[in-house]
Amino acid sequence: MVRFKKMSAILVITLILGLLLTGCGGGEKTSTTETKEPYKIGVILDISGGGSSLGIPERDTVNMIAEEINKAGGINGHQIELLVEDNKSDETESKLLVKKLVDRGVLAIVGSSTSGTSMAMTDAVNIAEIPMVSAAANAKIVTPVSERKWVFKTAQSDSLVVEKIITYLKSKGWTKVAFASVNSKYGDGGRAVFEKAAAEAGITILGQEKFGEKDVDMTPQITNIKRLNPQAVICWAIPPAASIFTKNYSELNVTSPLIHSHGIGNQKFIELAGDTANGVVFPIGKLLVAENLPDTDPQKSVLVDYATKFEAKYGARNTFGGHAWDALKIVLAAIEKAGPDRTKIRDEIEKTQNFTGISGIFNMSSDDHNGLALDSMVMVQIDQGKWVLAQ
C-alpha cells in the first residue's frame, strides 16, 4: 500500500514536471522578412467562461476569414496563420496570453471579446509595442488616446450607443425614464455614460436598479421600477440576464416600452425570452437587418455576404462575430499595406479611412481609435421573434 502511494506520488510529480517543461517551451524566435513566411496574427478571445457567447462566434468568424483568404492566396502571397488563445474570460490570463503571443512573434493581436479582459491587455501591448484591436465596448479601452497608442477597437463605444438611444427617446418625446443595468463592466459602463448623457439632454432618470450577471430573478427590481411609472425603461445587460429581465418584465405586466442596449444582438436573447421579447427596441449595427436595408446602403453587400457565409457554416448571425470580422479585416488591410512590421501596421490601422465593415464604416484617426459614427447603428425592434427596423 505504501509502495502504491509512493508510485502515485512519483507519477503525479513527474506529470507536473512534464507540464512545467511544456509550459516553458514557448519561446520561439521570430523570422521577420523571409518571403512567403506565414503572417502570424494573435487572437485572444473569451472562448470559455462568462464571455463565451461573444468569444465563440468571434473565433468562428476569424477562422472563417483566415480560411477564405488563405484559399485565395493569402496576403501578398503570404498565408495567414492565426494563433487563437482562450483567456477563459479572465483578466490575468489575458495579460499572460499577450506575453505568450508576443514571444511567438505575432504581428498584431485581435482581442479581446469583453471590456475587462481587453483593459487588462492594454498595458502589455503598449510595452511590447504591438498593435491590438479589440471587439469590446467600453470606451475606456481606447481612451485617453495618449495612453492607448497601440490599442484600437471595433465595437461601438457605449457613448455612441447611448447617444443613439437618447436620440430615439427624444424623437418619441419620452423624458422620464427608469434605468436598469447588470452589475458588470459592461452594464456599469453603460450606466455611467447614460447618466451623464441623459443629464445633458434633459432626460430625467426616475430610478436606477442593478442586478447580478448570474441572477435568476429580477422581480424586486422591476417592482420598484413599475412603481415609478416611467415613460420608458432602458435595460443595459446581455443574455441570459437580459432575457430573464425581459421575461420578468412581462410577467409583472409592466406597460412602459422596454429599450435594451446593443448587448442583445444575438438570436439567443429572443430564444430565451420567447414571446416576451416582442416589442423590445434596441440600437444595433446593421447586420441584424441586413436584408431589409435599402440597396443604396454602402454596407449592405458586405453585411449580406458575411451573414450568408456565417449562417451557412455556424448558425445564427450575431453582431459580436461582426466586431471580430472588422478587427481582423482591418489588421489584414494594414498588413497588406505595411508588411510584417508592427510599428508600420499600427500606423496603417490608425490611417483606416472609409473602411466598410460589419459594425459600420470606420474612419480612424490619431484622436479616435474606434472610428465609428452614429449612423453605424439603427434602431431595431423585435417583432414576432424577428428583427425589423423600428419606426
Partner 1 sequence: MDLASQLLQFIFSGLTMGGIYALVALGFVIIHNVTGIINFAQGEFVMLGAMFMVTLTGAGVPLLLAIVLSIILVMIVVGIIEFGAIRPAKKASPVTLVIITIGLSSSIRGIALLVWGTDPYKLAPFTKGSSIQIGGASIIPQSLWVIGTTVVILTLTFFIFEYTYWGKALRACVVNKFAARLMGISPQKMSLFAFVFSAALGALAGIVIAPITYATYDMGLMLGLKGFIAAVLGGLSSTPGAVIGGLALGIIESLGAGLVSSGYKDGIAFIILLLVLFLKPGGIFGTSGSKRV
Partner 2 sequence: MKDLVKRKRLRHSLIILFTALIFTLPFLFNNNYFLSVSVIIGIYTIVVIGLCLLMGYAGQISLGHAAFYGLGAYTSGILTSTYDISPWIAILIGAVGTGILAYMIGIPIFRLKEHYLALATLGLGLIIHVVLMEEVEITGGPSGLSKTIPYLSIGSLKLNTDFKYYFLVWAVALLAVILANNVVHSRIGRALRSIHGSEFAAQSLGVDTGKFKLQVFALSAAYASVAGSLYAHYITFISPSPFDLMTSIQFVVMAVVGGLSSIWGPFLGVAGITVLAQGLKAVVPTVMPNAGGEYEIVVYGIILVIVMIFLPEGLTSGLINIYEGWRYRKEKADETS
C-alpha cell at 343: 510599428
Site for partner 2 in 56-95 (CB under 8 A): 56, 85-86, 88, 90-92, 95
Q: Burial, 83: exposed, middle or buried (Cβ in 10 Å; 0-12, 13-18, 19+)?
A: middle
Q: Residue 20 CB: number of other CB atoms within 10 A? A: 10
59 binds partner 1 (CB under 8 A): no
313 binds partner 2 (CB under 8 A): no
20 binds partner 2 (CB under 8 A): yes
Site for partner 1 in 266-305 (CB under 8 A): 268, 271-272, 274
Nearest-10 crossing angle of helices 219-228, 241-251: 60
Lookup result for grid cell 479616435: 368
> What is the C-alpha separation between 355 and 134, in angstroms, rounded?
16
Q: How many Å separate Cα 355 from the centre of its chain?
A: 18
Site size toward partner 1 (CB under 8 A) is 30
Residue 119's binding partner, choosing from partner 2, partner 1, none, with beta-carbon cut-off 5 to 8 A by kind?
partner 2
Q: How many Å separate Cα 267 from the centre of its chain?
A: 16
Reduced to 3 states, what is the DSSP secondary structure of residue 171? helix
Considering only the stretches 8-16, 249-257, 303-311, 363-371, report the one whose residues sit in contact with partner 1 under the rule CB under 8 A: 249-257
Site for partner 2 in 112-171 (CB under 8 A): 115-116, 119-120, 122-123, 127-128, 138, 140, 147
Residue 102's binding partner, choosing from partner 1, partner 2, none, with beta-carbon cut-off 5 to 8 A by kind?
partner 2
> What is the C-alpha separation between 266 and 378, in angstroms, rounded?
15
Reduced to 3 states, what is the DSSP secondary structure of residue 352? coil
C-alpha cell at 254: 409592466
310 binds partner 1 (CB under 8 A): no
103 binds partner 2 (CB under 8 A): yes
Smallest separation, CB 173 to partner 2 (Å)? 31
How far CA 240 is from CA of 39, 174, 245, 361, in Å, comes to 38, 28, 9, 30
Smallest separation, CB 48 to partner 2 (Å)? 3
Among 198, 220, 199, 197, CA closest to 209: 220
Q: Which residues bind partner 2 (CB under 8 A)?
A: 2, 5-6, 8-10, 12-13, 15-16, 18-20, 22-27, 47-49, 52, 56, 85-86, 88, 90-92, 95-96, 99-100, 102-103, 115-116, 119-120, 122-123, 127-128, 138, 140, 147, 183-185, 187-189, 192
Q: Which residues bind partner 1 (CB under 8 A)?
A: 48, 52-53, 56, 183, 209-212, 214, 216-217, 219-221, 223-224, 226-227, 239-240, 243-244, 251-253, 268, 271-272, 274
